[in-house]
Amino acid sequence: MPEIELYLYALRSRIEGEVLQKLRIASPSLLRSYDPSVSALEGRRVLALERLGKRIVWAMEDDLFAVFHLMVAGRFKWRKAGAPIPRKGAHGAFDFEAGTLLLTESGSRKKATLHVVRAREGLAELDPGGLEVMNATLDEFGEALRRENRTLKRALTDPRLLSGIGNAHSDEVLFFAGLSPVRLTRHLSDGEVERLFEVTVRSLREWTERLQVEAGSDFPEKVTAFHPGMAVHGKFGEPCPVCSTPIQRIVYAERETDYCPACQTGGKLLADRALSRLLKTDWPRTLEELEEMKQERRRD
pTM metric for this prediction: 0.87
Please provide the average confidence, as pLDDT, over all residues in the chain: 90
pLDDT > 50? residue 60:
yes
Model confidence over 79-131: pLDDT tens digits?
999 999 998 889 999 999 999 999 999 877 789 999 999 999 999 999 999 99
Q: How far apart are CA 79 and CA 137, in angstroms?
A: 41
What are the CA-CA distances from residue 38 to residues 11, 65, 84, 168, 187 (Å)? 20, 10, 20, 32, 47
Question: What's the whole-number mean pLDDT along residues 268-297?
Answer: 53
Q: Residue 291's pLDDT is what?
A: 52
Model confidence over 161-191: pLDDT tens digits?
999 899 999 999 999 999 999 999 999 999 9
pLDDT > 90? residue 15:
yes
pLDDT > 80? residue 300:
no
In the chain, pLDDT over 90 holds for what percent of residues?
Answer: 81
Q: How far apart are CA 82 and CA 226, in angstroms?
A: 31
Q: Closest Cα partner for 20 from 59, 46, 38, 47?
A: 46
pLDDT > 90? residue 52:
yes
pLDDT confidence bin for 42, thresholds 50/70/90: very high
pLDDT > 50? residue 142:
yes
pLDDT confidence bin for 286, thresholds 50/70/90: low
Fold category of 2-124 in CATH: N-terminal domain of MutM-like DNA repair proteins (3.20.190)
Q: Residue 225's pLDDT is what?
A: 79
Q: Which of 31-35, 169-173, 278-282 has the lowest mean pLDDT?
A: 278-282
pLDDT > 80? residue 253:
no
pLDDT confidence bin for 72, thresholds 50/70/90: confident
Q: Which residues contact 101 (CB under 8 A, 6 or more apart)?
A: 11, 14, 15, 76, 77, 78, 79, 93, 94
Model confidence over 201-230: pLDDT tens digits?
999 999 999 999 999 999 998 888 789 999
Choice between 146 and 106, residue whose per-residue pLDDT is larger = 146
Q: Residue 252's pLDDT is what?
A: 75
Question: What's the whole-number mean pLDDT along residues 121-147?
Answer: 96
Please, where in the chain does CATH 1.10.8.50 lie? 131-215
Please, where in the chain does CATH 3.20.190.10 lie? 2-124
Q: Residue 290's pLDDT is what?
A: 47
Q: Residue 263's pLDDT is what?
A: 97
CATH classification (class only), 131-215 = mainly alpha
